[in-house]
């Protein structure tokens, strides 16, 4: 059985797109200065293992190390830097986790734990209230070392599914292989009833460069989810 050291990090991938009233606890209000997909993001520092954090240019996220790109719908907001920045600040001041109303809120794991959010894109700011599902794309990397015994992507769905079920999601069917461009990933589909609506979630996973890479898309309909998955592309690695 794989050790579940980063359950809080995995919870982030499930919780962030939920309506504020259904979260484990209310997320912190974030700055309105967040970048939209129209802005060009400067290259970020590489992760500890050498995986490129990627860049966003003209509404497309690109990661050279993973030979991967992802289309981001026009008008969406990016919160990648803020999500990673909050956890870095918390790691510097552990007292922030104690005695606060938001201490149970899911947050990205610290970089020292071998976990990092590569992309967080939302159809609207996560803290904004609305009746419809906040469609989102969340790409994250967790060190394989955090899960002793993890040898293939299908095993990563054990903790992924556990966290999803804890948040009220139901697995539609057993995870299955899916080919996207030059890469074969493992995909799992989930759904959750949210009042009169149904939230759809699909997570795709792979192992690369010593990391478990998860790509989670959330939408209000199957078509919305499939459109987001169709925006994913893997190309041959450039030597």
pLDDT digits (tens, 9 = 90+) for 97-124: 443 333 333 333 333 356 889 999 999 8
Q: What does residue 16 show for φ and ψ, rounded to 5 degrees?
A: -60, -30
Q: Is 1 a residue whose pLDDT tops 70?
A: no
Q: 93 in a domain, yes or no?
A: yes
User: Which residue is listed with tokens 């992309």?
Assistant: 119
Q: Which range is least confidently modeled, 21-30, 48-57, 131-140, 198-207?
A: 21-30
Total domains in the fold of the chain? 1
Q: 211 in a domain, yes or no?
A: yes
Q: 63 in a domain, yes or no?
A: no
Residue 113 DSSP code? G
- Residue 209 belongs to domain spanning: 7-25+73-234
Q: Is 221 a residue whose pLDDT tops 90?
A: yes
- By three-state DSSP, how is residue 82 classified? helix
- By three-state DSSP, how is residue 200 classified? strand
Dump strand ranges (E) for 23-63. Answer: 55-57, 60-63
pTM: 0.76
How many residues are given for the chain?
A: 239
Q: 167 in a domain, yes or no?
A: yes
Q: 66 in a domain, yes or no?
A: no
Per DSSP bridges, beta strands 115-122 and 55-57 are unpaired
pLDDT digits (tens, 9 = 90+) for 110-163: 333 568 899 999 998 877 777 788 899 999 999 998 888 999 999 998 888 888
CA atoms within 13 A on the CB side of 79: 28
Residue 45 DSSP code? P
Cα(106)–Cα(47) distance, integer angstroms:
21
Q: 195 in a domain, yes or no?
A: yes
Q: 35 in a domain, yes or no?
A: no
Domain CATH for 99: 3.40.1000
Average pLDDT of the residues in 1-6: 46
Helix count and strand count (H, E) for the chain: 4, 12
Q: 55 in a domain, yes or no?
A: no
């Amino acid at each position: 059985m794989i050790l579940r050291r980063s359950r809080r990090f995995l919870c982030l991938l499930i919780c962030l797109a939920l309506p504020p009233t259904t979260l484990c606890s209310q997320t912190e209000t974030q700055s309105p200065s967040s970048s939209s997909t129209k802005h060009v993001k400067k290259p970020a520092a590489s992760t500890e293992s050498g995986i490129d954090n990627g860049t966003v240019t003209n509404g497309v996220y690109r990661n050279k190390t993973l030979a991967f790109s992802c289309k981001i719908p026009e008008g969406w907001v990016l919160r990648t830097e803020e999500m990673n920045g909050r956890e870095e600040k918390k790691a510097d001041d552990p007292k922030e986790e104690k005695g606060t109303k938001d201490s149970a809120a899911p947050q990205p794991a610290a970089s020292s734990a071998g976990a990092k959010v590569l992309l967080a894109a939302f159809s609207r700011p996560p803290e904004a209230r609305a009746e419809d599902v906040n469609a989102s794309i969340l790409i994250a990397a967790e060190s394989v070392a955090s899960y002793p015994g993890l040898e293939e992507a299908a095993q990563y769905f054990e903790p992924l599914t556990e966290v999803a079920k804890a948040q009220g999601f139901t697995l539609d069917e057993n995870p299955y292989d899916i080919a996207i461009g030059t890469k074969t990933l493992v995909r799992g589909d989930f759904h959750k009833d949210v009042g009169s609506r149904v939230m759809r979630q699909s997570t795709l996973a792979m192992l690369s460069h010593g990391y478990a890479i998860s790509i989670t898309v959330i939408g209000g309909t199957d078509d919305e989810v499939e459109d987001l998955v169709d925006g994913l592309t893997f190309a041959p690695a450039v030597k």
